[in-house]
């Protein structure tokens, strides 16, 4: 029993690590306050779920989910590349709400609030990952690949350019960098990986509905990367582990389950507020939130 | 029609830029000749930095043309103009604070690895590149470890780094906005020596300055702006003595 | 024909509510220069406070309503003092303040769920009225009162801003904080007053909404989005603009669901918000003050 619970948490940690590291690529490295990341997560999840439920092989579902999420990133990047600061935050938040609205109302495709049940576990070469432990290994491998790829990007000259655009986009322009395109690419790549996380999530939990991809998730994701520290993949990983484990004791304190849920959210909100106030650079952050 | 001057590297023709009711640059025309150091002076609010911003594409002109190396660059995107060989520094230093000295310098080049799809392959800095960085930093006199973060530099060192970064670029025209602002006399002297050296190497420099001694001593030609218009262009000795220039500075 | 009239009435009703929310929000933005997303929480918590007084403790309604408005004002003030002021002292950018505000919003929403449960509460006031028929559209007496109260309140707010000394001080800080300081105005004091006034309006809005609709922990979300959007459409740093934008939003929303499934109602607001942020961030009436630039 306790083993199943631990494995469950570990799987979620793997999924959220991909989400956090990809979000940090956009926020910490490129300096874009993207509060709509959860939309990419959802698009990846729904796309993959719908395709696989329709009989498409898992790998295609995964790639399609990631690509569609990347396209959503492109769609978001185009109009928002001129916005900064709180206006960008608001616009990206609005984008997330629009996507959530489609999830809720495009009933013919998404089944609306009823959600998509029965999403199958991944299967390839005739082999299905049906066990919890098997999925943990799978999620871990996918997470590892994603994180390594993202870190490689961050350390590359392209990553350097992302950081330049974050630190001073005017200077970057005068050095010949196409800032608009750079920002867009940063967002697209970030979205792509969030889509992969979405697919991982959908095929694990086996049921998704619009409420999974809401404002609450946005707060959680931002708490993770701010606690971990912006501009640091290591921070995003540590932040994920801390924030996913921290509220778990609430389960065991004997509160009724109707309290545990909201208590968890209150905890995340408080952590975010406290970190912003006391340690805005977070644990391993190289950049402070206000500087992006 | 100044294309008769085949040694004109930059020309502004009747360029106007206003903000609300204020004419920051008002039908301004002047040119910068190749291989010379041209000073751009004028009282505060004369439109010097606005002219810089308009030339580099950070601001759009309302009217007029800007021609660089024989090509019209009016209202083109800043990064495109920069790639044509226009390097500039800013009045208030603009560095990539969270990046190191070396990274700031590397960003001045168009590294092939900056193309996203090539970034997995072209990650190394070539030997030639590393050498050039070392040379340019020596040239400006910045003796700090390459890994120092830009935000950890002193004000004077930051200015030197910004200049070094501009020098790293493949430029035909170097535009400096108040390079001596707030720097100590030692650095000021070094800058003068450096700019003279660059000129001997055939580079073209346009600089905005408030330090009269510095700019008059250094420049081959001086453009004087006042209230967005060109007041006069001439050799420093003539400009220094001109009554109109004095009036412009002391107020009417 | 009567459908259009009904949709218009619904639009004006919705617009009135949104205008109340937007005016407080926009007032705070124009003075304090950041997006106080938690304004929605002030409405929600005030509504629950009213429910506590009137629904559970059985206070007389009038007393409960007045106490709720006071509560709302104080809650807003408290949020400013405990949360925003310390961050301002640390030179937090307005993006940071927005994120903090979002966190606060989530905090209060979850708190309400934890304390009161996620189900809907109502405050019944007498029998359900059949309403008056105007040109084929139905409007209840309560709804008429709400529209009238909103309009009166907004006019009072406008007068307050234009004619009173404090109102002028607020506008001074909104225009140029540094200059206002040189003439002896204390910005922190003005921020406090702004939060009190804006949140009091939110408290009144809470009372009206609690009467006319329902109370549930999620109500603040939809309201603040509409308030936001109304403000952005009309011009976020302009209170009259926010009001204008809100009525426009109310009308567009209600006329819009003539064509779309009603579930997309909120999406209309998000969509308009998105479009305006992209194309005309300063809104219809707003000034372009380097929007989004830092």
CATH number of the domain that residue C173 is part of: 1.10.3470
What integer is the mean pLDDT of C219-231?
A: 90
What's the structural domain count of chain C? Answer: 1
**Alpha helices, DSSP H, located in C176-285:** 177-182, 187-212, 219-234, 239-256, 265-279
Q: With cut-offs at 50, 70 and 90, classify the pLDDT of residue A291.
A: low
Q: Check pLDDT > 80 for residue C206.
A: yes
pTM for the predicted model, two decimal places = 0.90
- The Cα C278–Cα B14 span in angstroms is 33
What integer is the mean pLDDT of B229-245?
A: 87
Per the model's pLDDT, the better-predicted residue between A252 and A217 turns out to be A217
Strand-pair category, B22-33 with A123-124: unpaired
pLDDT value of residue B45: 81
pLDDT value of residue C238: 80
pLDDT value of residue A250: 82
**Alpha helices, DSSP H, located in C117-186:** 141-163, 165-175, 177-182
Give C61-89 as a DSSP string: HHHHHHHHHHHHHHHHHHHIIIIIHHHHH
What integer is the mean pLDDT of A257-272?
A: 89
Q: Check pLDDT > 60 for residue B220.
A: yes
Strand pairing partners for B100? B149
Per the model's pLDDT, the better-predicted residue between B144 and A129 turns out to be B144
Angstrom distances, CA of residue A95 to CA of A222, A238, B88, B124, B159: 16, 28, 37, 38, 41
pLDDT value of residue B152: 94
Q: Check pLDDT > 70 for residue C202.
A: yes
- A82 and chain B in contact, CB less than 8 A: no
Q: With cut-offs at 50, 70 and 90, classify the pLDDT of residue B3.
A: very low
Q: Which residue in chain C is spatially nearest to A88 when comparing CA positions?
A: C292
Q: How far is CA C140 from the centre of its chain?
A: 22
pLDDT value of residue C127: 59
Contacts of A266 (CB under 8 A, 6+ apart): C106, C107, C110, C111, C114
Q: Do chains B and C touch (3 or more CB pairs under 8 A)?
A: no
Q: Which residue in chain A is spatially nearest to B86 when comparing CA positions?
A: A174
Which 3 state secondary structure label does DSSP give B226? Answer: strand
Which 3 state secondary structure label does DSSP give A126? Answer: coil
- C8 and chain A in contact, CB less than 8 A: no
What integer is the mean pLDDT of A184-208?
A: 95
Q: Check pLDDT > 60 for residue C291.
A: no
Residue A56: how many other CB atoms lie within 10 Å = 13
Q: What pLDDT digit, counting tens, does each position of B151-166 carry?
A: 999 998 999 999 999 9
- The Cα B54–Cα C57 span in angstroms is 68
Q: What pLDDT digit, counting tens, does each position of C2-25 carry?
A: 788 888 888 898 999 999 999 999
- The Cα A218–Cα C105 span in angstroms is 12
- The Cα A228–Cα A222 span in angstroms is 10
Q: What pLDDT digit, counting tens, does each position of B135-145 carry?
A: 999 999 899 99
Least confident of A175-184, B201-210, C114-123: C114-123
Q: Check pLDDT > 60 for residue C125.
A: yes
- A136 and chain B in contact, CB less than 8 A: no
Q: Which residue in chain C is spatially nearest to A291 when comparing CA positions?
A: C93
List of chains touching A (3+ CB pairs within 8 A): B, C
The answer to whether the Cβ–Cβ distance between A159 and B119 falls below 8 Å is: yes
Contacts of A156 (CB under 8 A, 6+ apart): B113, B119, B120, B123
Strand pairing partners for B174? B87, B205
pLDDT value of residue C272: 87
Furthest-apart CA atoms within chain C: distance in Å: 58
Per the model's pLDDT, the better-predicted residue between C268 and B223 turns out to be B223
Nearest to B120 among A152, A163, A170 (CB): A152
Q: With cut-offs at 50, 70 and 90, classify the pLDDT of residue C287.
A: low
Q: What pLDDT digit, counting tens, does each position of C34-45 carry?
A: 999 999 999 999
**Residues A175 and A19 sit within 8 Å (Cβ to Cβ):** no
- A175 and chain B in contact, CB less than 8 A: yes
- C290 and chain A in contact, CB less than 8 A: no
Give A65-100 as a DSSP string: HHHHHHHHHHHHHHHHTT--HHHHHHHHHHHHHHHH
Per the model's pLDDT, the better-predicted residue between C212 and B120 turns out to be C212
Q: Domain map of chain A by residue range?
A: 2-213
Q: Which residue in chain A is spatially nearest to C88 when comparing CA positions?
A: A277
Q: How far does A174 lie from chain B, in Å, by closest CA?
A: 5
Q: With cut-offs at 50, 70 and 90, classify the pLDDT of residue C134.
A: confident
The secondary structure of residue C133, as a DSSP letter, is E
The answer to whether the Cβ–Cβ distance between C99 and A276 falls below 8 Å is: yes
Q: With cut-offs at 50, 70 and 90, classify the pLDDT of residue A46.
A: very high
- The Cα A207–Cα A114 span in angstroms is 10
Which of C107, C221, C260, C271 to mutate to probe the A interface, most A CBs <10 Å? C107
Q: Check pLDDT > 50 for residue A81.
A: yes
The tokens for B112 are 């092939």
Q: How far does A255 lie from chain C, in Å, by closest CA?
A: 11
- C135 and chain A in contact, CB less than 8 A: no
Which 3 state secondary structure label does DSSP give A128? Answer: strand
Residues of C in Cβ contact (< 8 Å) with A292: 95
pLDDT value of residue A167: 93
- The Cα C178–Cα C182 span in angstroms is 7
Q: How far does B207 lie from chain A, in Å, by closest CA?
A: 16
Q: How far does B91 lie from chain A, in Å, by closest CA?
A: 12
Residues of C in Cβ contact (< 8 Å) with A272: 99-100, 103
**Residues A135 and A68 sit within 8 Å (Cβ to Cβ):** no
Nearest to A219 among C92, C93, C102 (CB): C102
Partner C, chain A 146-205, Cβ-Cβ below 8 Å: none
In a domain? residue C286? no
Which 3 state secondary structure label does DSSP give A101? Answer: helix
The tokens for C118 are 């996620």
Nearest to A89 among C95, C271, C294 (CB): C95
pLDDT value of residue A8: 93
The answer to whether the Cβ–Cβ distance between A158 and B99 falls below 8 Å is: no
Q: What pLDDT digit, counting tens, does each position of B71-113 carry?
A: 999 999 999 999 999 999 999 999 999 999 999 999 998 877 7
In a domain? residue C126? no
Which of A176, A189, A284 to mutate to probe the B interface, most B CBs <10 Å? A176
Give the whole-number percent of chain B exceeding pLDDT 70.
Answer: 95
The answer to whether the Cβ–Cβ distance between A175 and B96 falls below 8 Å is: no
What integer is the mean pLDDT of C99-113?
A: 94
- The torsion angles phi and psi of A130, rounded to 5 degrees, stand at -95, -20
**Residues A121 and A137 sit within 8 Å (Cβ to Cβ):** no
Q: How far is CA A264 from the centre of its chain?
A: 19
Q: Provide the ipTM.
A: 0.90
Residue-level length of chain B: 252
The answer to whether the Cβ–Cβ distance between A160 and B110 falls below 8 Å is: no
**Residues A31 and A165 sit within 8 Å (Cβ to Cβ):** yes
List of long-range contacts for A277-281, beta carbons under 8 Å, 24+ apart: A277/C86, A277/C87, A277/C90, A280/A226, A280/C90, A280/C96, A281/A229, A281/A230
Q: Check pLDDT > 70 for residue A292.
A: no
* A37-53 and A58-80 helices, crossing angle to 10°: 150
What integer is the mean pLDDT of C125-136?
A: 68
Residue B14: how many other CB atoms lie within 10 Å = 12
Q: Which residue in chain A is spatially nearest to C260 when comparing CA positions?
A: A105
Q: How far does A24 lie from chain B, in Å, by closest CA?
A: 15
Q: How far does A253 lie from chain B, in Å, by closest CA?
A: 43
Q: How far apart are the first and last CA of chain C?
A: 49
Q: Check pLDDT > 80 for residue B190.
A: yes
- A260 and chain C in contact, CB less than 8 A: no
In a domain? residue C293? no
Q: Which residue in chain A is spatially nearest to C281 when comparing CA positions?
A: A87
- A248 and chain B in contact, CB less than 8 A: no
Q: How far does B252 lie from chain A, in Å, by closest CA?
A: 36
Q: Check pLDDT > 50 for residue C290.
A: no
User: Any idea which residue has 């959802």 for tokens?
Assistant: A42
The answer to whether the Cβ–Cβ distance between A160 and B99 falls below 8 Å is: yes
The answer to whether the Cβ–Cβ distance between C96 and A218 falls below 8 Å is: no
Nearest to A263 among C103, C114, C225 (CB): C114
Candidates B48, B73, B87; CA nearest to B175 is B87
Give the whole-number percent of chain C exceeding pLDDT 90.
Answer: 39
Strand pairing partners for B225? B230
The answer to whether the Cβ–Cβ distance between C83 and A273 falls below 8 Å is: yes
Angstrom distances, CA of residue A23 to CA of A11, A19, A218, C257: 19, 6, 10, 35
Q: With cut-offs at 50, 70 and 90, classify the pLDDT of residue A7.
A: very high
- The Cα C28–Cα C34 span in angstroms is 8
* Torsion (CA) A19, A81, A79, C22 in degrees, nearest 10: 80
Per the model's pLDDT, the better-predicted residue between C130 and B6 turns out to be C130
Q: How far apart are the first and last CA of chain A?
A: 44
**Element spanning B39, H or E:** strand B37-41
Q: With cut-offs at 50, 70 and 90, classify the pLDDT of residue C131.
A: confident
Nearest to A170 among B58, B115, B116 (CB): B58
Strand-pair category, B63-68 with B71-72: antiparallel
pLDDT value of residue B251: 67
List of chains touching B (3+ CB pairs within 8 A): A
What integer is the mean pLDDT of B207-218?
A: 90
pLDDT value of residue A74: 95
Q: Which residue in chain C is spatially nearest to A266 when comparing CA positions?
A: C107
**Residues B245 and B232 sit within 8 Å (Cβ to Cβ):** yes
Give residue C91's domain range.
Answer: 2-120+141-279
Q: What pLDDT digit, counting tens, does each position of A185-195 carry?
A: 999 999 999 99
pLDDT value of residue C294: 28
The answer to whether the Cβ–Cβ distance between A268 and C113 falls below 8 Å is: no
């Amino acid at each position: 029993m306790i083993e199943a619970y631990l494995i469950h948490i570990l799987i979620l940690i793997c999924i959220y690590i991909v989400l956090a590291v990809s979000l940090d690529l956009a926020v910490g490295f490129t300096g874009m306050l993207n509060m709509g990341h959860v939309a990419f997560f959802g698009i990846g999840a729904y796309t993959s779920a719908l395709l696989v439920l329709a009989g498409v092989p898992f790998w295609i579902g995964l790639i399609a989910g990631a690509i569609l999420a990347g396209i959503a990133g492109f769609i978001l990047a185009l109009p928002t590349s001129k916005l900064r600061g709180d206006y960008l935050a608001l616009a990206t938040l609005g984008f997330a709400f629009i996507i959530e609205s489609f999830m809720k109302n495009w009933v013919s495709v998404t089944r609306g609030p009823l959600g998509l049940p029965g999403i199958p576990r991944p299967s390839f070469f005739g082999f299905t990952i049906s066990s919890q432990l098997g999925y943990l290994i799978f999620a871990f491998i996918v997470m590892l690949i994603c994180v390594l790829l993202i870190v490689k990007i961050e350390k590359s000259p392209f990553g350097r350019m992302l950081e330049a655009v974050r630190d001073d986009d005017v200077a970057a322009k005068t050095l010949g960098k196409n800032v608009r395109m750079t920002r867009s690419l940063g967002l697209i790549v970030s979205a792509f990986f969030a889509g992969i996380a979405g697919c991982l999530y959908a095929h694990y939990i086996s049921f998704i509905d619009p409420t999974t991809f809401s404002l609450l998730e946005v707060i959680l994701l931002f708490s993770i990367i701010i606690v971990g520290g912006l501009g640091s993949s290591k921070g995003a990983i540590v932040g994920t582990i801390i924030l996913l484990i921290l509220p778990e004791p609430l389960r065991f304190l004997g509160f009724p389950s109707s309290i545990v849920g909201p208590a968890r959210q209150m905890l995340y909100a408080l952590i975010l507020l406290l970190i912003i106030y006391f340690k805005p650079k977070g644990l391993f952050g190289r950049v402070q939130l206000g500087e992006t | 029609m100044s294309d008769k001057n085949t040694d004109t590297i930059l020309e502004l023709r009747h360029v106007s830029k206003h903000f609300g009711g204020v004419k920051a640059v008002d039908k301004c025309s002047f040119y910068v000749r190749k291989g010379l150091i041209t000073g751009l002076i004028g009282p505060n609010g004369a439109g010097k930095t606005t002219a810089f911003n308009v030339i580099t594409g950070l601001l759009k002109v309302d009217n007029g043309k800007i021609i660089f190396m024989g090509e019209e660059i009016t209202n083109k995107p800043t990064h495109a103009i920069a790639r044509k060989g226009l390097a500039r520094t800013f009045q208030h230093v603009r560095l990539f604070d969270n990046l190191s000295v070396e990274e700031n310098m590397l960003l001045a080049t168009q590294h092939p690895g900056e193309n996203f799809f090539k970034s997995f392959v072209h990650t190394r800095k070539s030997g030639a590149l590393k050498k050039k960085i070392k040379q340019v930093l020596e040239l400006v006199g910045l003796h700090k470890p390459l890994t120092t973060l830009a935000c950890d530099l002193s004000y004077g060192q930051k200015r030197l780094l910004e200049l070094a970064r501009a020098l790293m670029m493949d430029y035909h025209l170097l535009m400096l906005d108040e390079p001596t602002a707030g720097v100590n006399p030692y650095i000021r002297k070094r800058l003068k020596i450096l700019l003279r050296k660059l000129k001997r190497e055939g580079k073209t420099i346009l600089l905005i300055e408030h330090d009269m001694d510095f700019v008059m001593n250094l420049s081959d030609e001086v453009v004087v702006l006042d209230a967005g218009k060109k007041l006069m262009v001439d050799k420093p000795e003539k400009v220094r003595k001109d009554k109109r220039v004095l009036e412009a500075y002391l107020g009417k | 024909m009567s459908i259009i009239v009904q949709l218009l009435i619904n639009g004006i009703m919705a617009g009135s509510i949104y205008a109340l929310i937007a005016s407080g929000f926009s007032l705070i933005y124009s003075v304090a220069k950041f997006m106080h997303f938690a304004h929605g929480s002030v409405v929600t918590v005030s509504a629950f406070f009213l429910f506590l007084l009137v629904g559970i403790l059985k206070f007389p309604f009038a007393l409960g309503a007045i106490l709720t408005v006071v509560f709302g004002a104080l809650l807003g003030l408290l949020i400013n003092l405990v949360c925003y002021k310390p961050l301002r002292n640390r030179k937090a950018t307005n993006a940071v303040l927005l994120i903090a505000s979002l966190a606060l919003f989530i905090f209060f929403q979850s708190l309400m769920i934890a304390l009161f449960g996620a189900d809907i509460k109502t405050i019944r006031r007498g029998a359900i009225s059949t309403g008056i028929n105007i040109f084929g559209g139905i409007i209840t007496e309560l709804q008429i009162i709400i529209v009238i109260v909103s309009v009166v309140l907004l006019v009072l707010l406008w007068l307050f801003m234009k004619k009173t000394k404090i109102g002028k001080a607020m506008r001074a800080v909104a225009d140029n904080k540094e200059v206002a300081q040189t003439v002896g105005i204390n910005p922190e004091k003005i921020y406090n007053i702004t939060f009190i006034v804006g949140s009091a309006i939110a408290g009144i809005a809470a009372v009206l909404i609690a009467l006319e609709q329902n109370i549930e922990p999620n109500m603040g979300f939809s309201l603040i989005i509409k308030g936001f959007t109304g403000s952005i459409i009309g011009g976020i740093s302009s209170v009259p603009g926010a009001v204008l934008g809100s009525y426009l939003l109310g009308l567009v929303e209600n006329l819009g669901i003539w064509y779309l499934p009603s579930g997309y109602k909120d999406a209309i607001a998000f969509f308009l918000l998105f479009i305006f942020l992209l194309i005309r961030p300063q809104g219809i009436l707003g000034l372009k003050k380097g929007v989004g630039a830092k």
